[in-house]
Amino acid sequence: MERPKNGAHVLHGQSFVSVTQLDTDGIASLFAIADKMKAMVKRDGSCDLLKGRILANIFYEPSTRTMCSFAAAMLRLGGQVIPVNESSSSAQKGETLSDTIRCLECYADVLVLRHPIKGSAAEAAAAASKPVINAGDGTGEHPTQALLDLYTMQSELGRLEGLTITCLGDLKNGRTVHSLVQLCARYGMRVHLVSPASLRLPADVLRAAAKGANGWSLYEEHQSLDGPLRQSDVLYVTRVQKERFASADEYDAVKDAFIVSAETMQQAPANMIVLHPLPRVNEIAVEVDDDPRAVYFRQMENGMYVRMALLAALLDGDVFARLG
């Protein structure tokens, strides 16, 4: 993928529904924009790149941090934000998603959509004439989360190719991990999967990842972090929820194997980083927060830079030239 001659990103004018829309060049150029955004925010706080543009932040289910992250991203680019909490309004009057989108796009230049039903982002993108960004569609994708996870690895470790990542926790229900595993495959990462037997990564996610893989291999580990921990560049932690288990006994039997403590960190490599999509409950002990390898709050901050990059890429046809 060549950078378009006119200075636009490949996503310019498009909706962004799935990470499959980006190849590694598209991701690399997006991350290059994100780096510039980060430097700009540290230096100036905000800029005027998207002055006069409006983002509609449409959430059919609450997600404080994703909503805030997109809002902050747009505001720091000089744009404006209209929050739309749809749970209590037109949807109750029986309006279709397509109609709601066609109405809201009358007011905005870009639409961010969080919706509980898989496929709704694609449906919205098809209805809209303005760019739609998928901010999570149920068991579907949450592509900006996957990108910010990847961006954090690159920022912290300086590369993506050939890394070894260990995913820990509930790998069955974690949409975040599903998208991430598929991205990691493209970079030839080694992926270790550590989960309770009943919460393993679904077979179809594995198959999809394998299809796009660049010479990678999977190690599935049951109920023990011990082996993969020592080989990991990245430990990606997700929550193991009690209510996913058939019985409280079953949960109690395994839960301690999925908690990252100071003791866990003692056995981990000195350069390994710990990621978590947040919110966490108790799967990472608070004592770990002060460990320099705990980067999950920086990961959260990176989300803003990646979303700034995405908004600039979608809306500004000359983004590369403008950012210098």
71 scored as a contact of a second copy (CB under 8 A): yes
What is the closest distance, in whole angstroms, from the C-beta atom of residue 45 to a second copy in the complex? 4
Active site residue 65: yes
144 scored as a contact of a second copy (CB under 8 A): no
Radius of gyration of the chain (CA): 20
322 scored as a contact of a second copy (CB under 8 A): no
Pairing between strand 234-237 and 190-195?
unpaired
What is the closest distance, in whole angstroms, from the C-beta atom of residue 86 to a second copy in the complex? 6
Place of tokens 């949960």: 251
99 scored as a contact of a second copy (CB under 8 A): yes
Whichever of 52 and 292 has its CB closer to a second copy, that residue is 52
Q: Which stretch binds a second copy (CB under 8 A): 96-104, 146-154, 199-207, 247-255?
A: 96-104
In which element (H, E) is residue 110 found?
A: strand 110-115
Active site residue 114: yes
38 scored as a contact of a second copy (CB under 8 A): no
Tokens of 123: 């449906």
The backbone torsions φ and ψ at residue 195, rounded to the nearest 5 degrees and listed phi first, read -150, 160
45 scored as a contact of a second copy (CB under 8 A): yes
Q: Which residue in 86, 123, 141, 233 binds a second copy (CB under 8 A)?
A: 86
Q: How many residues does the chain have?
A: 324
Q: Which stretch binds a second copy (CB under 8 A): 104-112, 130-138, 252-260, 316-324?
A: 104-112
> Left if phi > 0, otherwise alpha if psi is -120 to 50, otherwise beta: which for 223?
left
CB within 8 Å of 201: residues ≥ 6 apart = 167, 171, 172, 177, 178, 181, 193, 195, 220
Whichever of 14 and 90 has its CB closer to a second copy, that residue is 90
Q: Pick the catalytic residue: 114, 115, 130, 276?
A: 114
What is the closest distance, in whole angstroms, from the C-beta atom of residue 2 to a second copy in the complex? 29
Active site residue 142: yes
107 scored as a contact of a second copy (CB under 8 A): yes
Whichever of 89 and 224 has its CB closer to a second copy, that residue is 89
Cβ neighbours of 117 (radius 10 Å)? 14
Residue 141's nearest CA partner among 132, 153, 128 is 132
With beta carbons less than 8 A apart as the criterion, state whether 288 and 260 touch.
yes
DSSP, collapsed to helix, strand or coil, labels residue 215 as: coil
In one letter, which amino acid is 140? G
Burial of 100 (0-12, 13-18, 19+ CB in 10 A): buried
Query: What is the longest distance spanned by two Cα atoms in the chain?
Result: 61
64 scored as a contact of a second copy (CB under 8 A): yes
Q: How far is CA 208 from the centre of its chain?
A: 18
Q: Which residue in 10, 68, 117, 157 binds a second copy (CB under 8 A)?
A: 68
39 scored as a contact of a second copy (CB under 8 A): no
What is the closest distance, in whole angstroms, from the C-beta atom of residue 306 to a second copy in the complex? 12
246 scored as a contact of a second copy (CB under 8 A): no
Active site residue 43: no
Active-site positions read: 65-66, 93, 114, 142
**Binding interface with a second copy (CB under 8 A):** 44-47, 51-54, 56, 62-65, 68-69, 71-72, 75-76, 80-84, 86, 88-90, 93-96, 99-100, 102-104, 106-109, 278-281, 286, 297, 300-301, 303-304
